[in-house]
Structure 1
């Protein structure tokens, strides 16, 4: 059906993300009217908190593991070693998370708006331990994900309609997600082990800790990026009610729907493709990036503009008039798809493939410090509108810093001739027909 693996994987991941988003979109109007803004506030606050543990367990392995395997795809011994190191390292990180989670209970409502929801979501972290995404991504074989997600989404949707009947039933939503995610990821992991002839071998502890230490800059950068996103909700929770958190997180989650469908499939599929190009030479990799930049700008600008224009209609259609306050918030952050797309391209696809891990880390560290300062001030004084504007300011700042440092390093990824619509079209077809 497709001429190359990149398009095939973008299509497969696109189907996967559409399935994971379409079914929740069907249930959203029903669920939002039953549990209301307060119920949504509790779920989203708990999800944001447990999200920190998810990041810790996933570490940077979806990037570093993918890069190692994709560049040594024919070396079965090295591939199995990378596979084993990632799994055992995640087990170590999960044990650490268990200790930290128990400690968090001493802080009560500061971290746990609902203890049952927090516990359910924490158990769901096992799905992160067994997540096989880096394996399928490395081998550029992602078709199975689309099929599994359609089935999972359909069953989950049916169960939500059957069990969520009152305001108090909101805990069923994370419960079903946890059960399906854990079972499916374990199944996908076992399938990958068999399909790609992977051997799970015991690894010395010192080797695992060395891997964790080596990947620390990418990991901390990823944590800082997610920390900026989730901390908006956490800090806002210090100053506003759960109902107002519900307004804010409704807009944020709707934005994530757009990002999941349009951004994640593309960025996930092109990472091993670009990484492989850079393994040949920096010139080959850089030329690929120059062609992708204009495509990224045009595509995500159109997406963001549509989000800005259709925000009122979309919020009212999906969530109802109880969430009318979410409209302005969504309009403020409507250009996030464009800024996220550019940030990923400049940071993950370029800096990391040039092995500037420390620089990538420093930019994210500076941005996070500024985010925290701005977030406290804006959330305290302007509520959820301030938290929304904080997202905009920080995204623009990160992109600016990436461009400044790339210029200092004399890495030119912009060729204005490539922005000509005719050349963009030609490059798009060229990349689509490119064979590894």
Structure 2
């Protein structure tokens, strides 16, 4: 029997079509957050310079800790739950209500913490207007139900709304930033755009999926927080070794180094948004559904998709390394030449993070290995923080780039060794031929012309 036709229905033609649409939609959602601001880079950086660009990115790194608290572990847990039970109306409504209510409560808590730290810490109070403009985005984090659209595999409308609002944001930047002192409008525009798209997205979601919000009981909220706590602490660990690089660089070095590092990592972040964020978020509910059918069904989907996904990521990494000098010079100018080696170092990240997402997000979490996932990310965060502290002081922004890649490589290797120790081989050459045949057959079916 043909292996490409006898395999799980998780990757059938209708599923692949939805997958392709959702990849494109998620790609635009994430890239719009970065690509449209990138279009303003040649204009903005020549006005504000590397130091103020560093302040903008440091503020974003600071506020990222509060968005982490607000998100908790809700998004991934909700996708995993709803994707396997999307026809259960009561369950969907309950999950929707619990996530929105939980995020709202955490927003109140994070706002109090933000106000206290920002006001009573002189270093933060000196840029209180900038940090406040950046923090406004947290309102959008509460309302934006991208996790619901992921679980329902329906992301097209979100993409359209997001692109329209971000286009307006780009226009606002050109209109508002005229002199160096106007630099804070960059983050303010991002925040306002996030809030607007979130309001539109949640309004459409309520109407489209016929949702009913009911404030959860205390016991329901307690259960939700308890059940998602492992994923929350895992997210904290991931942020400590990945998201804290800019924050640590600002504390241990200076705003100029932060600006150079941010310029060097911007294109990599955009590229990775497709191969890891967009692709993985669209792929996660498919894998969750496959694992919901059976353990072997889910593992088979992961195994046969490893090689095409890795091929894509290797090509992206190679492309980043090659275009680094041209991109930095064209978009940032001669004052940012130090960002070229940074971009070439972090060009390895799509490969490293792609592997860790496949092994961690798609395999370990769907096999309910949440605690092992947490332990690995916790250990990786410790390694990342130590390497960052050492290399930043010795090598500045270049050391930060090396530290980030080292931490991601450690995480990927640890996940591979853990799964192998559990008798689970996700990466096997024996699946290479089947993966090629399956990919060719499915692509031919997906893009086949109909009479």
Bin of the TM-score, shorter chain as denominator length? over 0.9
**1:257 and 2:270 are equivalent in the alignment:** yes
CA contact (8 A) 1:218 1:357 kept: yes
Name 1:84's counterpart in structure 2.
97
TM superposition shift of 1:251: 1.4
1:44 and 2:57 aligned: yes
Deviations 1:226-249 (A, max 9, x none): 222222122222332211211112
Does the 8 Å contact 2:291/2:297 carry over to 1? Answer: yes
**Aligned-partner Cα distance in 2 for 1:112–1:427:** 54
Contact in 1 for aligned 2:166/2:193 (Cα 8 Å): no
Partner of 2:10: none
Offset of residue 21 of structure 1: 3.5
Moved more, 156-165 or 42-51: 156-165
Change in Cα spacing, 1:423 to 1:351, as seen in structure 2 (3 Å) is: closer
Equivalent residue for 1:149, pick from 138, 162, 185: 162
Deviations 1:290-316 (A, max 9, x none): 011111211101110111121111111
* Residue 190 (structure 1) shift: 1.7
Q: Does 1:307 align with 2:320?
A: yes
CA distance in 2 between counterparts of 1:175 and 1:17 reads 18
The DSSP-based 3-state class of the residue aligned with 1:200 is: coil
For the 8 Å contact 2:79–2:150, the answer to whether it is kept is yes
Query: Unpaired runs of 5+ in structure 1?
Result: none
**Range with greater deviation from structure 2 (236-245 or 55-64):** 236-245
Correspondence for 2:180 among 167, 179, 184: 167
Provide TM-score, normalisation by structure 2: 0.92
Find out whether 1:424 has 2:436 as its counterpart. Answer: yes
- Match for residue 158 of structure 1? 171
Asked if residue 177 in structure 1 is aligned to residue 190 in structure 2, the reply is yes
Q: Which residue of structure 2 lines up, in the alignment, with residue 369 of structure 1?
A: 382
Distance 1:246 1:112, change over 3 A: farther
Give the drift of 1:272.
0.3
CA distance 1:238–1:25, shift in 2 (3 Å)? closer
Instruction: Kindly indicate whether residue 221 of structure 2 is the aligned counterpart of residue 188 of structure 1.
Output: no
Partner of 1:104: 117
Partners of 1:397 and 1:118 in 2: CA distance? 33
Deviation string, structure 1 residues 70-115 (Cα, Å, up to 9, x no partner): 1111110111001001011111111110221122025524445621
The answer to whether the 8 Å contact 2:119/2:125 transfers is no
Equivalent residue for 1:390? Answer: 403
Instruction: Measure, in 2, the Cα distance between the counterparts of 1:175 and 1:264.
Output: 24
Q: 2:449 maps to which residue?
A: none
Change over 3 Å in CA distance of 1:433–1:72 after alignment to 2: farther
| Partners of 2:299 and 2:344 in 1: CA distance | 34
CA distance in 2, matches of 1:287, 1:113: 54
CA RMSD of aligned residues (A): 1.9
Match of 1:197 in 2: 210
Q: Is the partner of 1:15 in helix, strand or coil?
A: helix
Are the structure 2 counterparts of residues 430 and 417 from structure 1 closer, same or farther at C-alpha, using a change threshold of 3 Å?
A: farther
CA distance in 2 between counterparts of 1:287 and 1:255 reads 30
Alignment-derived partner of residue 303 in structure 2:
290
How much does 1:353 deviate?
0.1
Report the counterpart of residue 275 of structure 1 in structure 2: 288
Is 2:348 the partner of 1:335? yes
Whole-angstrom distance in 2 between the partners of 1:361 and 1:239: 27
1:346 to 346, 349, 359: 359
| 2: CA distance, partners of 1:113 / 1:300 | 41
Q: Contact 1:89–1:209 at 8 Å: present in 2 too? A: no
| Deviation at residue 417 of structure 1 after TM alignment | 3.3
**Whole-angstrom distance in 2 between the partners of 1:428 and 1:161:** 45
Partner of 2:6: none
Moved more, 111-120 or 202-211: 111-120
CA contact (8 A) 1:4 1:433 kept: no
Match of 2:129 among 113, 116, 119: 116
How much does 1:206 deviate?
A: 2.9
* 1:63 maps onto 2:92 in alignment: no
Counterpart CA distance in 1 for 2:200 and 2:279 is: 25
Q: Structure 1 pair 112/418, CA: closer, same or farther in 2 (3 Å)?
A: farther
2:107 is matched with: 94
